[in-house]
Structure 1
Amino acid sequence: MDAPFLTVRNLTKHFAPTAFSRGPVVRALDDISFDIARGQVVGLVGESGSGKTTIGRSVLRLIEPTSGEIRFDGVDITKLSAGPLVRQRRKMQYIFQDPFASLSPRMTIGQILTEGLDIQGIGSRRERRAKAERALAAVELPVDAYDRYAHEFSGGQRQRIGIARALTLEPEFIVADEPVSALDVSIQAQIINLLRDLQVRLGLTMLFISHDLAVVEYICDTVIVLYLGRIMEVAPAAALYARPQHPYTRALLSAIPSLDPLARQGRQVLKGDIPSPANPPTGCVFRTRCPVALDACAGIVPPLRATTSDGHLKACIRDDIA
């Protein structure tokens, strides 16, 4: 079997108080481990505050992990110094959530698209422009967009520009961080179809972050369910949606909008809000909202363990809800 393209082991990220922010340590991520195979699309789902974006940014070292190993194509990027890390980032790109905030209003689209090429020292000015124009064509925007500014485009077009920016360096791995959540529903399907087509056509490996489980089911091969900085369940997408094994996953799936009145009647509504990562519950972090929690859950951090032979994993001490 081939080695995973991306390996994350025991990733932890704690935000300590600074001179400008007093308070307790915020435990954003604790002991996160997963693999992504080359060409695979892995979905990362969970409520706001679960740590999804922190994982995405840690994987590219846009923020520094507190501890753990992140091995990309055999290279542990947590150990790279500034120069080698910049060169490594040519293979790894990020699509941001907000297409309005992620594009500078002072730069032309051409300048935005060629900035990474300039930093990496790739090609002449003419060659950089040619790469940028090919990226515009790949996301179905006209070539004349090159000399225009971001305010001249709609939200959906701006997100296409953000995708084009990620493509100009011809990366092998992309983190797509909630790439459609800021867009109108009518535009979301177009962007998701574009991403799916690009992933297949270019053979991209992707970490797809979303809170929309319907979107994740459509585009992802494997799904990781995250809650308060810990992984609750990992499974192939088809298995997760057909046979969710963790009570948190079941609650998330039951919240997907449906026109079926029977489905609405069986909806599991979680009580309360997700706890603060500055003061997480002891034991299983989900226990304070879990409808089937036991007294023992307060004293045990459940390990992620295999429940089937198809790679289905869950972090729960109960076997009777499998």
Structure 2
Amino acid sequence: MPAPYLSVRNLTKHFAPQAFSRGPVVKALQDVSFHIGRGEVVGLVGESGSGKTTIGRSVLRLIEPTSGEIRFEGIDITKLGATELRRQRRKMQYIFQDPFASLSPRMTIGQILTEGLDIQGIGSKAERRARAKEALVAVELPADAFDRYAHEFSGGQRQRIGIARALTLQPEFIVADEPVSALDVSIQAQVVNLLHDLKLRLGLTMLFISHDLAVVEYICDTVVVLYLGRIMEVAPAADLYARPRHPYTRALLSAVPSLDPAVKRQRQVLKGDIPSPASPPSGCVFRTRCPYAVDACAAAVPALIEVAPRHRKACIRDDIE
């Protein structure tokens, strides 16, 4: 069996209090492990505050992990120095959530798209310009957008520019962080279809972060369910949506509308709010909101065990069907 294209092992991220603050340490991620195969799209889902963006930024070392291992093509990027990391980032790019805040208002679209090429020292000025215009065409924007500014474009067009920026370096791996959450519903479908087309046409490997499970079902091959910095369930998308095994996953999926009138989901409303990552519950972090929790759930963190081929869950209850 070939080695995973991207392998994350025991990834932990704690945020210390800011200077002159006596606040508690925020445990954003705890022992997160998953892998992505070449050409695979893995969806990362969970409520706000579950640690999705922290994983995405840690994987590209936009923030430094507290501990753990992140292997990309067999290389542990947590051990790379600045020069080696910059070279490795030619293959790894990030699509940011907010298309308004992520594009500089002082730079033309052409400058935004060629900035990464400039930093990496790729090609001549003419070659960089040509590659940037090719990226604009790939995201279905006119080439004359090159000399315009971000404020001249709608939110959906700006997100396409953000995608084009990620594509100019011709990466092999992309982290897409809530790429449609800031857009109108009518525009969301266009951008999702664009990403799906790029996945098929370019064979991209992708970590797709979203709270919209309908979008994740459409574009992802595998789904990782995250809650309060820990993985609750991992499975192929088709299996997870057909038969979720973890109570948290079931609650999330119960809110997803079905286009099939024969499918009727019973809404499962979780009680209370997600606890603070500065003071997570003992044992299973989901137990304070879980309708199936028993006393033993507070004793130890449940292991992520296989319950079906390629399907794993972190729950001590094996009698929930």
TM over 0.5: yes
> Where does residue 121 of structure 1 map in the other structure?
121
> Where does residue 276 of structure 2 map in the other structure?
276
> Where does residue 45 of structure 2 map in the other structure?
45
- Note the 1:311-322 alignment, pairs <5 A: 311-322=310-321
- Note the 1:204-283 alignment, pairs <5 A: 204-258=204-258, 263=264, 266-283=266-283
Matched, 1:148 2:155: no
Instruction: Measure, in 2, the Cα distance between the counterparts of 1:275 and 1:108.
Output: 43
TM-score w.r.t. length of structure 2:
0.98
Matched, 1:84 2:80: no
Instruction: Measure, in 2, the Cα distance between the counterparts of 1:200 and 1:262.
Output: 29
Instruction: Measure, in 2, the Cα distance between the counterparts of 1:233 and 1:132.
Output: 39
Offset from partner CA, 1:198-240 (integer Å, 9 cap, x none): 0111111000000000000000000000000000000000000
Instruction: Measure, in 2, the Cα distance between the counterparts of 1:181 and 1:282.
Output: 32
How far apart are residue 73 of structure 1 and its match?
0.6
Cα separation, partners in 2 of 1:231 and 1:131, compared to 1, 3 Å: same
Instruction: Measure, in 1, the Cα distance between the counterparts of 2:262 and 2:201.
Output: 39
Instruction: Measure, in 2, the Cα distance between the counterparts of 1:262 and 1:132.
Output: 45
**Quick check: 1:254–1:263 contact (8 Å CA) kept in 2?**
no
- Note the 1:166-181 alignment, pairs <5 A: 166-181=166-181
How far apart are residue 263 of structure 1 and its match?
3.2
> Where does residue 158 of structure 1 map in the other structure?
158
How far apart are residue 321 of structure 1 and its match?
1.0
Instruction: Measure, in 2, the Cα distance between the counterparts of 1:63 and 1:275.
Output: 23
> Where does residue 306 of structure 1 map in the other structure?
306
How far apart are residue 59 of structure 1 and its match?
0.2
> Where does residue 17 of structure 1 map in the other structure?
17
Q: Secondary structure at the match of 2:7?
A: strand
Instruction: Measure, in 1, the Cα distance between the counterparts of 2:74 and 2:21.
Output: 37
Matched, 1:132 2:125: no
> Where does residue 184 of structure 2 map in the other structure?
184
Q: Unaligned regions of 5+ residues in structure 1, if any?
A: none
Offset from partner CA, 1:86-145 (integer Å, 9 cap, x none): 110110000000000000000000000000000000011100000000000000000000
TM-score w.r.t. length of structure 1:
0.98
Q: Secondary structure at the match of 2:32?
A: strand
How far apart are residue 18 of structure 1 and its match?
2.6
**Quick check: 1:26–1:278 contact (8 Å CA) kept in 2?**
yes
Cα separation, partners in 2 of 1:291 and 1:177, compared to 1, 3 Å: same
Q: Secondary structure at the match of 2:44?
A: strand
Offset from partner CA, 1:244-273 (integer Å, 9 cap, x none): 000000000001135869836x21000011
Matched, 1:96 2:93: no
Instruction: Measure, in 1, the Cα distance between the counterparts of 2:17 and 2:181.
Output: 30
In structure 1, what residue type is equivalent to 2:273?
D
> Where does residue 34 of structure 2 map in the other structure?
34
In structure 2, what residue type is equivalent to 1:136?
L
Percent of paired sites with the same residue: 83
Q: Secondary structure at the match of 1:263?
A: coil
> Where does residue 55 of structure 2 map in the other structure?
55
Instruction: Measure, in 2, the Cα distance between the counterparts of 1:272 and 1:91.
Output: 42
In structure 1, what residue type is equivalent to 2:173?
F
In structure 1, what residue type is equivalent to 2:289?
R
Cα separation, partners in 2 of 1:262 and 1:243, compared to 1, 3 Å: closer
Root-mean-square deviation (CA, aligned residues, Å) is: 1.2
Instruction: Measure, in 1, the Cα distance between the counterparts of 2:6 and 2:57.
Output: 14
Instruction: Measure, in 1, the Cα distance between the counterparts of 2:218 and 2:85.
Output: 33
Q: Secondary structure at the match of 2:264?
A: helix
Offset from partner CA, 1:23-50 (integer Å, 9 cap, x none): 0000000000001000000000000000
In structure 2, what residue type is equivalent to 1:177?
D
How far apart are residue 21 of structure 1 and its match?
3.7
Q: Which 4+ runs in 1 deviate beyond 2 A?
A: 257-264
Q: Unaligned regions of 5+ residues in structure 2, if any?
A: none
In structure 2, what residue type is equivalent to 1:314?
K
Instruction: Measure, in 1, the Cα distance between the counterparts of 2:316 and 2:252.
Output: 19
